[in-house]
Amino acid sequence: MKWAALTVFIIFFLLVTVLGFVAARWRKGDLGHIEEWGLAGRRFGTIVTWFLVGGDLYTAYTFIAVPALMYGAGALGFYAVPYTIVVYPIFFMILPRFWSVAKKHGYVTASDFIEGRFDDRLLSLAIAITGIVATMPYIALQLTGMQAVIAAMGVGGEWPLIAAFIILALYTYTSGLRAPAMIAVVKDLMIYITVIVAIIVMPMKLGGFSHIFTSAQAALATHTPKGAFVATPAQFSVYGTLALGSALALFLYPHSMTGVFSASSRKVVQRNMALLPAYSFALGIIALLGFMALAAGIHTKSSNAAVPLLFLKEFPQWFAGFGFAAIAIGALVPAAIMSIAASNLFTRNIYKSYFVKNATPQHEAKVAKFVSLIVKVGALVFIIGFPQQYAISMQQVGGILVLQTVPVLIFGLYTRWFHRRAYLIGWIVGIVYGIYMWGTTGYKSTTYVLHLFGQAMPAYAGIWALIANIIVTVVLSLVFNAVKVGQGEDKTTAADYYTEASM
């Protein structure tokens, strides 16, 4: 038991627990109303939104999963850095339109937009189910990160996950989105302190970056299968498609949409797309921790333990505990937002659409609070049922599903030419094909080798599935439009996508 590290860890964990409850009174609103509980009344300005969305996107995935892939497989893990660079220019054009139409019509979820845009409850249901299911492995990734740091301090067993479940349940149930927003400020400051110290201290203790890279290259060559210090030509297509697929999916996850919809204005969203790349710089440094662990001689069967063991070896125990607290809090913040986002989807687009159509906002809030607990149970089941060699696989699996919403959410934001039935059938094809490709690997990898014209082309399964989805959507849209199948009523207008008013 690492008592010094554990003591510091507990102190900071208790601090954010208190903040989680205090947040219920921050920017006070009626938390019995779903817009207040699930979107904090859409009142967050540039700074709070920056911390919230940053805390939502840069998580235990950042500190545990990315370095773990670098530690085990080498250069392939660095795909996370370019994808978080290209994502912001893409969504700088997309998300302000989404915010505007959501604000104008009071949409809480992306599925609300689909129902309003295409007058299609079935298509809205498909997007809602996709978001809920894709969120569960992402929450599982956060809990896995928390489990890794707690285990490194000598605390074993399954009870840390149960404790995490209880804490998340209390945060989300009592304070809604305000809790992770307030905690995100503390979490991000702690992570930046940890990163700054790591980038200064680690190279000094390990003989500089030249020695780190040389040692990492030698260590990767001994792995089974061998890791690559520099991506090989055979990895180019996998590297590129993982980066592209992850970038396209990132802001279409329900939790990302929730963070964006909570902003107070269109300009706040635009400013954040310009400012959030600051996190990508930190991510690049954090990714190198995987190589530093190799250079430090860290040996572990679980790559997820590489960074925690590195911290314990190279830092004083008290600072290792500080870093562990940053990682664990970095898991709580997004997990809370994810469970809120998933419960919003269930409440608005399943429960209200199909069971209690006249549910009041207060009734919706009660259901959403309860469902947020159920979502976390689903995440725990995912951890137990689908163990992954690399924790980052959990994010990649969710990405396969979320990518199948790209056509309807992005194309549909700009045009009604594509037919709503074509979107639905394309979505089905993409989901089935994506899960099939994942299944062919025994649910162990999200890379699939497609054989076309005598060529073997390995790539991220989510991209192959998206290509199939788009082809089906385009072809069937041509057919349905030609025979004049009804498109439904569009409840939005062109002006709705440029609304700037703040609440």
User: Is 405 part of a structural domain of the chain?
Assistant: no
Report the Cα 303 to chain-centroid distance in Å: 20
Q: What is the CATH number of the domain that holds 110?
A: 1.20.1730.10
- Residues 113, 277: contact at Cβ < 8 Å? no
The Cα 99–Cα 357 span in angstroms is 25
Q: pLDDT at position 394, please?
A: 67
What's the pLDDT score for residue 502?
A: 44
* Phi and psi, residue 484, nearest 5°: 60, 45
Q: How would you classify the pairing of strands 455-460 and 447-452?
A: antiparallel
Asked, for residue 319, whether it belongs to a domain, the answer is yes
- pLDDT at site 503: 41
Query: Would residue 302 count as lying in a domain?
Result: yes
Q: Residue 157: left if φ>0, alpha if ψ -120 to 50, beta else—which one?
A: left
Is 423 within a domain?
A: no
The vertex-313 CA angle with 307 and 319, nearest 5°, equals 80
Per-residue pLDDT of the chain (503 residues; tens, 9 = 90+): 889 999 999 899 888 888 888 887 787 778 889 999 999 999 999 999 999 998 877 777 678 888 999 999 999 989 989 999 999 999 999 999 999 999 999 999 999 999 999 999 999 999 999 999 888 878 877 877 788 888 889 887 667 667 767 877 787 788 899 988 988 888 889 988 999 999 999 999 999 999 999 999 999 999 988 899 998 898 999 999 999 999 999 999 999 999 999 999 999 999 999 999 988 888 889 999 999 999 999 998 888 889 999 999 999 999 999 999 998 888 888 888 999 999 999 999 999 999 998 989 899 999 999 998 888 777 777 666 655 554 456 677 889 999 999 999 999 999 999 999 999 999 999 999 999 999 998 888 899 999 988 889 999 999 999 999 999 999 999 999 999 999 999 999 999 998 775 44
Going from the C-alpha of 53 to that of each of 45, 58, 190, 279, the distances in angstroms are: 12, 8, 16, 11
- Angle, to 10 degrees, between the axis of helix 236-250 and the axis of helix 80-105? 20
Q: Is the dihedral of CA 87, 89, 94, 97 positive or negative?
A: positive
Measured CA to CA, the distance from residue 292 to residue 213 in angstroms comes to 8
How is residue 417 written in tokens? 């030419």
Is residue 148 exposed (0-12), middle (13-18) or buried (19+ Cβ within 10 Å)?
Answer: buried
**Domain containing residue 352:** 3-390
The total domain count for the chain is 1
**Residue 503 within a domain:** no
Asked if the structure places residue 361 within a domain, the reply is yes
- Dihedral sign of CA atoms 30, 32, 35, 40 in order: positive
| Neighbour count for residue 285 (Cβ, 10 Å) | 14
Question: CB of 107 within 8 A of CB of 39?
Answer: no
Beta bridge partners of 449: 458
The answer to whether position 408 is within a domain reads: no
- State residue 62's pLDDT score: 78
478 in any annotated domain: no
Residues 200, 287: contact at Cβ < 8 Å?
no
The CB density around residue 30, as the number of other CB atoms within 10 Å, is 12
How long, in residues, is the chain?
A: 503
